[in-house]
Amino acid sequence: MEAATNDLSSRLAFDTQGLGNLKQAAKAGSPEALKSAATQFEAMFINMMMKSMRDATPQDGPMDSQQTKTFTSMLDQQTSQNLAKRGMGLADVLVRQLGSQAANLQAQSQALAIGSDGSAMPAPKSAEAMMSTPGALATTVASSGLSSGISASGRVQAPHVRAFQDQVGPDAEAASKATGIPAKFMIGQAALETGWGKRVISNADGSSSHNLFGIKAGAGWTGKVATAVTTEYVNGVPHTRLEKFRAYDSYADSFKDYAKLLSDNPRYEKVLASAGDPSKFAHGLQKAGYATDPLYAAKLSKIISHSLG
């Protein structure tokens, strides 16, 4: 059994046949099988985090192609497997949880158990069921107390995505109540404009402008101003320019101004009307002239659906 387990653990993280064998091994309940299953769980978790990080980074450069993406995906899978062998702590937690479930199942082998009130109660999940799908994986990770990187839909989030979402989430929720735009959509746009908060425009003294949405300081703006180099597209061709942008005292003020801009400007009326769909929202913004980057809508849709979904 040990030799077979070691052979399985050397496979790529998402080898379907390997996962099927691991589920059967986990069902058997031996310590070696449970350890191998938990290690594979950990490899899947790491791989999903790496994929989320890739999704959060626009990949439309001249060196990007389907071939390079395929190679990168294969490399990520093997890297996640290697990291899981070293261990990040999740496998140990899962071994304890899966082992406990196996012990319970041995004592409760029937599909249903009778509750104290005489009603039918589902038996505990088997180790096999706990690793049947990515959704089951997310549920298992959440129940293990390591749920900080899991989104509401069960998607594994990269640490920088979760950190940014936690930082601006309350302000996004407040702006959502004012506009009807889901907070997740606005967080996604702020992430695209600032590189997940890493490239917020700075004031002349080096302090943050707190401008999360790249809103420029036009003739009607009477507040503080920050100057920065930006890229604008004219007929699809990028041009570098020095522009003036609005500056705020806080991220909350940035969200409030963004909400006011979209609510008060008639050209964004259709954007607000399509706020229930990430793709329609993103393409509506681009069509209304919010950004000149021809790939803006595609990038924003990807962030909302994949990184924050």
Which of 268, 294, 291 shows the shortest CA–CA distance to 281? Answer: 268
**Contact present, 294 and 283 (Cβ < 8 Å):** no
Q: State yes or no: is 257 an active-site residue.
A: yes
Tokens standing for 69?
């993406």
Place of tokens 């990040």: 88
Distance between CA atoms of 257 and 48, rounded to whole angstroms?
A: 35
- Tell me which of 166, 232, 249, 269 is the catalytic residue: 232
pLDDT in tens, the chain (309 residues): 444 444 444 444 444 454 555 556 555 656 666 666 667 666 666 666 666 656 655 555 555 666 776 767 777 777 766 765 666 555 566 666 655 555 554 554 444 444 444 444 444 445 455 555 545 555 555 454 444 455 555 566 788 888 999 999 999 999 999 889 999 999 999 999 999 999 999 999 999 999 999 999 999 999 999 999 999 999 889 999 999 999 999 999 999 999 999 999 999 999 998 888 999 999 999 999 999 999 999 999 999 988 886
**Structural domain spans, the chain:** 2-147, 159-307
**Does domain 159-307 sit in CATH 1.10.530.10?**
yes
- Tell me which of 55, 76, 171, 257 is the catalytic residue: 257
Q: Does pTM top 0.75 for this prediction?
A: no
Distance between CA atoms of 303 and 36, rounded to whole angstroms?
A: 33
